[in-house]
Structure 1
């Protein structure tokens, strides 16, 4: 992998894990501390499901196997995509690094703890976004960057995931 995207990936995994460690060490579960009144708080929540609590009611073993399997499959897919776009625009490489770093960060949580720590809480008046973490942000930004790169400059050649 190119040095810039690899450095980005490693830095984001470290930031994600360090921020989750800090939250666990500094907050009591479900504690909330307002940072920007009416807009942003730091909280300590855990999520045993996927985005928005999907599969949260399933048994621990089923959830763990499902999420570890999905994360590993996603990382394999990202590796195959990387092989296809490594000679394309750098935006592709950074987008894949962002997505992979998020997948790795949340995978570490699921393997170690069986759940993901969420702590970024944004809201506005009566609207409240579910809490999330740096790994979730990296995935979202990576997908957006990949779509932007695809719109601006489609990858050289056809993406073939069979090779």
Structure 2
């Protein structure tokens, strides 16, 4: 699948899932799906990953995160064009991360916060709520990390 097509697939899947949550849930509503393990819940996040900086009370926080999202998407796309010849799996890795960044960027611009709804937990421990875009970012980062470990330069010399 081409880089830009995968970016669009991630964005569409993310935005459709968020549209469903927004149209089917009230803010903070939770529905148990797998007892003791998984809920769907509608929450918002004005911060970064795991709600970092969500408590920073500054009008610049929003613009900072929008700027970071734009720079990330541009940087990942440039990285794709540079790295695609190294290994074909860099394309899907960068596309998943860029698509996820774009999905969350759309929320920030449109709603002022990111919509999260997957709630995974064991007993009283809840992983921070996340969404399809966050999942794509993690999958893409995972692929990139594995490639970085396994795809050593072919021309390296031992000293």
Same structural fold, with TM-score higher than 0.5 when normalized by the shorter chain: yes
What is the CA RMSD across the aligned residues, in angstroms?
1.7
**Correspondence for 1:134:** 132
**Correspondence for 2:116:** 118
SS of corresponding position for 1:123: strand
Assess, with a 3 A threshold, how the Cα gap between structure 1 residues 93 and 126 changes in structure 2: closer, same or farther: same
Deviation at 1:80, TM superposition (A): 2.2
SS of corresponding position for 1:83: helix
**Correspondence for 1:55:** 53
* 8 Å Cα contact 1:44-1:118 kept in structure 2: yes
Deviation at 1:155, TM superposition (A): 6.6
In structure 2, distance between residues paired with 1:40 and 1:156: 44
What count of residue pairs does the alignment treat as equivalent?
155
**Correspondence for 1:96:** 94
Match of 1:9 among 3, 7, 10: 7
Listed as ranges, the gaps of 5+ residues in structure 2 are none
* 8 Å Cα contact 1:88-1:156 kept in structure 2: no
Deviation at 1:74, TM superposition (A): 1.0
**Correspondence for 1:67:** 65
Mean CA deviation greater in 148-157 or 62-71: 148-157
Mean CA deviation greater in 50-59 or 68-77: 50-59
Moved over 6 A (4+): none
TM-score using structure 2 length: 0.90
Match of 2:74 among 73, 76, 80: 76
SS of corresponding position for 2:26: coil
Deviations 1:6-32 (A, max 9, x none): 222111100100100100100010000
User: Are 2:35 and 1:37 equivalent residues in the alignment?
Assistant: yes
